[in-house]
């Protein structure tokens, strides 16, 4: 089980009225304009955990989509295509090869880049290829360095008239939009801009016990340097932003703490070595998930000048399903025209238009066991 907590400490923003949204029990088909409904979507690493989940979610949300499963393993690709049905196909793609990418992107309306790891990647090859081929783009990146490198392609994306979103997953992603909505709602009650302050703290430190509401309750979470910490501070203008992450059972947190304190930073920056660790522990993680479950919960707090706090909570029983629905919600928003040309974070109004945020959150929250926005802590 994974838990994420983001704190937005706003000195001058005021609190807002609370509201509750009802969760959906199943993934419902969405109604799109005909042009968007007939879109062709390439999902890179479409046989993996995130990409495969996204492909399944898109197929359920809009059965008319033509889905291309991109990857290197034809057997896995064939299995995914068989699951998705006749509106899907497999394309062999090497994301490190520009020619391979541009060939796969030919005649595609949107590419979903789910082929991590993004950490320590020194190029944004997929984004570059999408700009060259004039293909809309969204990724599920969770690495701070990578997302700001992606933002450096702003002028090229604008020149190509291509909309692109980086960090368009669940966290970061949906968490960004939740934060943006809390801040926007607070500012409609106050015309004063909050003061700006930015802090840095050691990753996986500063333990805090946080109540994630029904189904999860109190869990220990730790500070991490997620991309949305910097982007929320700079874009939303909130003076103090922190993000915390934790896992359950508790011993996973011990393992994370041990790795950050015992392993040299050079080791953690070596993608091949980290990948070996992932492969080593993956069977254990899957086995424990089978027993303990794979619930995911996010909590976003906005603290205001009157001492009160408004909160958003998002809880789903299965991370493997929820991450795909969340990513699919961003894909739908782009195809509907809610994203302007350029490279954007989800919380930027050019990334997800303010008037489109509520729809995105409703779609992303399908299947959640608990989803609330703009509630005071006393009401949780």
Query: Where are the domains positioned within the chain?
Result: 2-20+173-317+373-379, 34-171+320-367
Half-sphere exposure of 87 (CA within 13 A, CB side): 16
For residue 350, what pLDDT band results from cuts at 50, 70 and 90?
Answer: very high
Average predicted confidence (pLDDT) for the chain = 80
pLDDT of residue 301: 82
Q: What is the pLDDT of residue 297?
A: 83
Token pair for 70: 């991109």
SS3 318: strand
Confidence band (pLDDT; 50, 70, 90) for 14?
A: very low
| Residue 363 confidence (pLDDT) | 97
Is residue 215 within 8 Å of 181, Cβ to Cβ?
A: no
Return the CATH fold of 34-171+320-367: Rossmann fold (3.40.50)
Q: What band does 162 get if pLDDT is binned at 50, 70 and 90?
A: very high
Local confidence band at 197 (pLDDT 50, 70, 90 cut-offs): very low
Output the pLDDT for position 228: 76
Q: Could you tell me if 48 and 114 are in contact, meaning their C-beta atoms sit under 8 angstroms apart?
A: yes
Structure tokens at 21: 């949204």
Name the residue with higher pLDDT: 202 or 224: 224
Q: pLDDT per residue over 296-305, tens digit each?
A: 888 888 887 7
Express each pLDDT in 123-160 by its tens digit: 999 999 999 999 999 999 989 999 999 999 999 999 99
- pLDDT at position 271 is 59
- Residue 353 has a CB neighbour count (10 Å cut-off) of 17
Looking at the chain, the whole-number percentage of residues with pLDDT higher than 70 is: 68
pTM: 0.81
DSSP H stretches of helix in the chain: 34-37, 49-61, 74-84, 98-105, 125-132, 144-151, 154-160, 174-187, 227-236, 251-262, 265-268, 271-292, 319-335, 357-364
Q: Is the model's pLDDT at 63 over the cut of 50?
A: yes
Average pLDDT over residues 315-330: 94
Total Cβ atoms within 10 A of residue 250: 10
Residue 203 clears pLDDT 60, i.e. is over it: no
298 phi/psi in degrees, rounded to 5: -125, 140
């Amino acid at each position: 089980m994974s838990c994420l907590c983001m704190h937005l400490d706003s000195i001058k923003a005021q609190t807002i009225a609370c509201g509750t949204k009802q969760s959906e029990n199943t993934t419902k088909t969405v109604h799109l304009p005909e042009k968007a409904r007939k879109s062709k979507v390439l999902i890179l690493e479409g046989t993996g955990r995130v990409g495969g989940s996204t492909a399944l979610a898109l197929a359920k949300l809009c059965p008319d989509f033509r889905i291309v499963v991109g990857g290197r393993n034809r057997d896995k690709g064939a299995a995914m295509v068989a699951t998705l049905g006749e509106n899907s196909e497999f394309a062999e793609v090497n994301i490190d090869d520009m020619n391979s990418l541009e060939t796969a992107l030919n005649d595609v309306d949107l590419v979903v880049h789910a082929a991590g790891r993004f950490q320590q990647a020194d190029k944004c090859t997929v984004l570059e290829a999408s700009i060259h081929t004039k293909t809309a783009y969204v990724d599920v990146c969770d690495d701070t360095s990578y997302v700001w490198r992606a933002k450096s392609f702003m002028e090229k994306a604008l020149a190509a008239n291509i909309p692109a979103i980086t960090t368009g997953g669940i966290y970061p992603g949906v968490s960004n939009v939740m934060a943006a909505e809390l801040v926007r709602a607070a500012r409609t009650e106050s015309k004063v801009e909050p003061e700006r302050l930015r802090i840095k703290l050691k990753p996986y430190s500063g333990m805090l016990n946080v109540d994630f509401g029904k189904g999860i309750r109190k869990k220990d979470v730790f500070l991490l340097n997620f991309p949305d910490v910097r982007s929320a501070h700079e874009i939303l203008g909130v003076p103090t932003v922190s993000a915390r992450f934790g896992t359950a059972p508790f011993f996973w947190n011990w393992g994370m703490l041990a790795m950050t304190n015992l392993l040299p930073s050079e080791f953690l920056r070596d993608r091949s070595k980290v990948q070996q660790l992932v492969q080593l522990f993956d069977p254990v993680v899957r086995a424990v998930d089978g027993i303990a479950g794979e619930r995911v919960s996010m909590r976003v707090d906005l603290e205001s000048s009157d001492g009160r706090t408004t909160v958003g909570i998002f809880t789903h029983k299965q991370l493997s399903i929820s991450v795909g629905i969340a990513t699919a919600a961003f894909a739908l928003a782009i195809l509907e025209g809610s994203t302007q040309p350029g490279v954007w974070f989800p919380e930027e109004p050019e990334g997800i238009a303010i008037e489109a945020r509520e729809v995105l959150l409703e779609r992303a929250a399908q299947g959640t066991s608990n989803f609330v926005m703009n509630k005071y802590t006393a009401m949780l």
